[in-house]
Each structure stands twice: as C-alpha cells, then as structure tokens.
C-alpha cells in the first residue's frame, strides 16, 4: 500500500469488527490497551481538550502523541439532539506517523467512543471498587448504558445491574438489549431503589446542567462511584457534599477541574491521578468504608489507545477500505504539475 492510501474504518466496518471479535472481548482488550498507555503516562503530550462551547452543546478536539504516533478525536456533545432523532455524541478520529506526518488511520469514533468510555470506567473500577463487587446501579439508561453494563461484566465480573432513568422507555430499551447477556437486570422506579445493594454506582446522564443525580444521603460507606455524565463546564451529576467525603480519582486534573464533578470544588482540592495508582505512586482504595469516585470526563490518551487497538485488528479482520487522502506528485516540489496530470 502506498503512503497516500489511508485505511478508513467506517461505521459499518466498526459494527462488524465489534461483532466479529465479540463486544465483551473488545471491552477486555480496550481496557488492557488503555491501562498499558496509562502506565506510560509521562511519555504522552497532554493538554485539556480544545473546546468550542455554545448554549446547546460543545464541539471538541482531543489531541495527544507518544512521540511516535499522533492521534486526535473530533467529538461533539449536544444533549438536545435526541429530541430531533439525532445522536447526542458523534465522533471520528485519526492516527498519524510522527516521523512523516502522514496519516495512518481514519476511523469512525461514535461507536468506538462508547466502547472506550465503558472500558475506561471498568478499568478504573478494577483498581478502585470494593473487592468482590457484583452489583452496579446504572442511573441514566441512554446510549452509553449497555456499554457500561457489559464493560463492567467483562472486566470486573459484575453479575447484576440495577437500572433507573427518568424516561421509562430508556430503561425498557436497556433491559431488551441486555437480555440473554449473562446479567441479572432489574428495572427500578427510582434512583434510590437502584442503589440498594449496589457496590458500584454509575451515573451517565446527558443534560447540560448542574444536576443532582445523587444526593449525599443516597451514598453509603464503601461504595465506588463512576461519574461519567459530568463532562463539560456547567454539567455535573453529584451533590457537592458527596465529593467532600470521597477519595477522588481523575484522568488529567487540568481538564477535569474544568469539566468534571470537581468543578464544584476549590481549584486546589486534592485529587489523585489514576495513572499514579496503576504505577504504584499513589494509593487507590485503602479502607472498606472508603467512598471512591472516578470523576471521568474522557481524555485523549484513551482515544489514542482505542484507535491503535482498531488499527491492530485491521489485518486480522480486513474491515476497512483505503482512501486516497494524500497528494503524491512524481516530484514532491511539483504539486501543480500533479493537478495537470488529471487533465
């Protein structure tokens, strides 16, 4: 293949790749890839995502590089889209060779973002959740819900999921999609009911507002909270008092302090970077009664890991097409002459 031909993974390719490999196997593989890259965290260029905010949503670029490969993701977040029959989140991503600047892969990332978000959640819970956790409350049963449930089953061994959403149709959809996948699924009428008996609480709601999905009295000692939905300025899910009594773990503090639950706290409120727990530089869960919170906002390294994983599976699956994206004049100095070749 010449350098001007770039593998492209379409939505159809991605769906077939996930089904061919198996959803849960992809979750396990992605969690391992992301953890491996977290363990070499200092090697990466890091910056908070570049965001363009509006009253109705946000459009973002998420770049990073490990010095050999560069990657970025374009992603939006528009909660009101659902009312128009559109996706709340859409995305695509690219990998490039640092040595030449030439692209190596162009891929859809709407599906891949859902997969890597769930894989990251489960990876964090593997380090932070109570040992032997079997039950998770899943509050918010929209597009991300099934991915979270299956990710926690595959990576953490969760066997029961308790569902709640303000829209009963969303919960019914989730129950249908999880049927026959080895989980005991319970539809609950309230968030309080969903939390009963749960060692892990995942919140994954979409509204762009300061919301209180969990109040302090709902959270008992020893639980692990996976806060996914609070992921941009002005968008939170947890009452501030929960944060004040939790051990808080984050991806990249300069980004999380802008976008995560901790935007409610003082800029110097102590947090622990998850990569430090994995590398043994900081403790994770140290007490049975400790409330741990993974304040997840999504970071570019996770997308980088996911794109590299997809690229590694192309030879095995053949699920891509090659795009002619880069001009290739016979003489690199004669780009105009290349145009004339088309005459």
Catalytic residue annotation:
231
Q: Which DSSP category does 232 fall into? A: B
Helix (H, G, I), strand (E, B) or coil at 119: helix
CA distance 242 to 332: 59
Q: Could you tell me the CA-to-CA distances from 167 to 160, 200, 270 in Å, in that order?
A: 21, 22, 36
Put residue 140 in one of left, alpha, beta given phi > 0 → left and psi -120 to 50 → alpha: left
8 Å CB contact between 158 and 186: no
User: For residue 235, how far is the Cα from the chain centroid?
Assistant: 16
Which long-range CB contacts under 8 A does 91-94 form with residues at least 24 apart?
93/303, 93/306, 93/307, 94/307
Backbone angles phi, psi at 318, to 5 degrees: 70, 15
CA distance 218 to 264: 19
């Amino acid at each position: 293949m010449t350098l001007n031909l770039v593998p492209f993974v379409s939505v159809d390719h991605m769906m077939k790749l996930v089904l061919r490999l198996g959803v849960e196997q992809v979750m396990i593989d992605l969690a391992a890839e992301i953890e491996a890259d977290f363990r070499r965290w200092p090697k990466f260029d890091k910056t908070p995502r570049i965001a363009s905010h509006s009253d109705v949503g946000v459009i973002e670029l998420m770049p990073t590089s490990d010095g050999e490969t560069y990657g970025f993701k374009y992603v939006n977040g528009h909660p009101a889209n659902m009312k128009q029959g559109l996706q709340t989140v859409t995305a695509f991503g690219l990998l490039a060779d640092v040595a030449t600047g030439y692209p190596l892969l162009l891929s859809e990332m709407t599906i891949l973002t859902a997969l890597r978000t769930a894989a990251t959640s489960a990876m964090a819970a593997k380090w932070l959740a109570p040992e032997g956790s079997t039950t998770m409350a899943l509050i918010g049963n929209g597009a991300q819900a099934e991915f979270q449930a299956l990710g926690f089953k595959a990576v953490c061994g969760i066997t029961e999921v308790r569902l709640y959403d303000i829209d009963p149709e969303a919960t019914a959809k989730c129950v249908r999609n999880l049927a026959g996948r080895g989980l005991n699924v319970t539809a609950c009428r309230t968030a309080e009911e969903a939390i009963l008996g749960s060692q892990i609480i995942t919140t994954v709601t979409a509204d762009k507002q300061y919301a209180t999905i969990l109040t302090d009295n709902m959270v008992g000692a020893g639980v692990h909270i996976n806060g996914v939905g609070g992921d941009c300025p002005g968008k939170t899910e947890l009452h501030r008092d929960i944060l004040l009594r939790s051990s808080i773990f984050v991806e990249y503090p300069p980004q999380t302090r802008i976008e995560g639950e901790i935007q409610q706290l003082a800029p110097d409120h102590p947090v622990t970077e998850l990569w430090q727990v994995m590398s043994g530089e900081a403790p994770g869960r140290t007490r049975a009664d400790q409330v741990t919170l993974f304040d997840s906002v999504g970071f570019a390294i996770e997308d980088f890991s996911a794109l590299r994983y997809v690229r590694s599976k192309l030879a095995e699956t053949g699920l891509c097409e090659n795009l002619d994206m880069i001009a290739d004049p016979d003489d690199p100095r004669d780009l105009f002459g290349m145009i004339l070749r088309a005459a």
